[in-house]
Structure 1
């Protein structure tokens, strides 16, 4: 199964890359693609029908000197990678379910990238993003990024995020994450903050302990929900296969901040290089 999916993704990458080929130049590198697929079930005490499906396919294009790639996904990759489907403001999550974009950078190492494509219910969009990182001490690093975008129906939007990481030991990291989204349809800000501790026990087992809060700026700056969780991630059976078990407790404003207890179960596969 893994070979079949990886072969299909790479065949598509070669086919797409040929559009940009110039016959008078000899190829020194082949195009390739990679895919990530995640399936999850996140039942909790007030809802047992919380299912999560995510896929992301990226195609590298050497005929464009590796300055451009094609990205197809069923979620906006600016969303935190470790959120829980039961968490988050539903309208914002549904806006960002699908995206197909061509991403371009002046060089493979450049922190500035630009995208054109379709997303948010098949709206045409253009987006520019800048990423950078700074080593503050030998154990502390600051990463930040900012972006601005334009959707054909929703209009202009922007977001800004930064992450402070501290390597406590060779096998554990503390992270402070902060993210602010300007939601153009509702003309308000969605903000998210979290504190995490990541511990790697060995090459195949890791644990993430986290506390997450989320809120909006209108009608006033207020908390909408908060969550605590304990995520165990394990690589098993194959190098490309992972599963996660994550017990969590969620408090939401629309549920009068009454505790909801849940258990997230996920399986994830990586296909390609």
Structure 2
């Protein structure tokens, strides 16, 4: 399927405008924090606690990545996302989603009330998803442990679903950090686990490269079936100013059902800006998908999304 000429022209103009905005910005620096000594515990402390200094943590916070909001150190956060999308095959579409985490201090600071879009996490920011799969969900999260290299929490929702998540972060060098996230979950007749591995490398004070790979296994006891899904991808983050940033994404996913094959490849760009108020953001995301069913040829689909987001945080 070929894109209409008007869509090609729109994409070209969008990329041109964003490029001009980037070139017009002052070369304002963001800092690369360095610990006072070279001990591993000092490097970990600076990586995890200088939120607006280290590029990886700054970008995760600016793009509201779940590496910040899911970590046990995070406090109350609210995101109200309003997406206006144009999809080549389906036309215009509007979605409104709320993701929120509230501390319950009178009970314990470790316990949080959560409202989230099921399936909306860092994996699905990087890898393609079917928007029909995203559903709002309510539950509780208990942050059991958060110290040094690692954090561990348990989440239960009214879907019903229970999930345990462990995250381990280790700095390889001052500019390169590795991270592994392990999740195990049970949802009615479905048992699953996922393993996610990240490497972040700060190229300089304005660019961060992230490589993410995951493998996910699910067992459906009702139908006596199981499935493996896996994927790998890269995100290049670009700092423009304290209120502007871009990420460039390329990723691919595969499944083993009915046989092993690549089922989706994605390229996209997201321009994000904080405007007017510290809690108001907007995003523009053009993307292009190649997807297919087993033994079918790839189909192509272009889309563009405008997001208006209201965000409140109290970490």
Q: TM-score range by the shorter chain?
A: 0.7 to 0.9
The question of whether the paired residues in 2 share the 8 Å contact of 1:157 and 1:184 is answered with: yes
Count of equivalent residues = 232
Deviation at 1:50, TM superposition (A): 4.3
Match of 2:198 among 163, 184, 204: 163
Q: Which residue of 2 aligns with 1:265?
A: 306
List runs of 5+ in structure 1 lacking aligned partners: 1-31
Greater share of helix residues, 1 or 2?
A: 2
List runs of 5+ in structure 2 lacking aligned partners: 1-74
Task: Please give the secondary structure, in 2, of the residue aligned with 1:88.
Answer: coil
Once the two structures are superposed, residues 38-93 of structure 1 have per-residue CA deviations (whole angstroms, 9 ceiling, x without a partner) of 11123232221444432112111223441211111132354525258xx4256xx5
TM-score of the two chains, using structure 2 as the length reference: 0.67
Q: Does 1:242 align with 2:281?
A: yes
The question of whether the paired residues in 2 share the 8 Å contact of 1:67 and 1:108 is answered with: no
Match of 2:214 among 179, 199, 203: 179
Once the two structures are superposed, residues 93-137 of structure 1 have per-residue CA deviations (whole angstroms, 9 ceiling, x without a partner) of 52x523222111234546111122322xxxx22221101101001
Match of 2:99 among 52, 56, 66: 56
Task: Please give the secondary structure, in 2, of the residue aligned with 1:100.
Answer: strand
Write the mapping of 1:179-258 to structure 2, written as runs, cut at 5 A.
Answer: 179-185=214-220, 187-254=226-293, 256-258=297-299
Q: Does 1:111 align with 2:151?
A: yes
C-alpha root-mean-square deviation of aligned residues, in Å? 2.3
Q: Which residue of 2 aligns with 1:134?
A: 170
Q: Distance in 1 between matches of 2:298 and 2:190?
A: 33
Q: Distance in 1 between matches of 2:210 and 2:112?
A: 29
Q: Distance in 2 between matches of 1:42 and 1:190?
A: 27
Q: Which residue of 1 aligns with 2:12?
A: none
Q: Does 1:47 align with 2:90?
A: yes
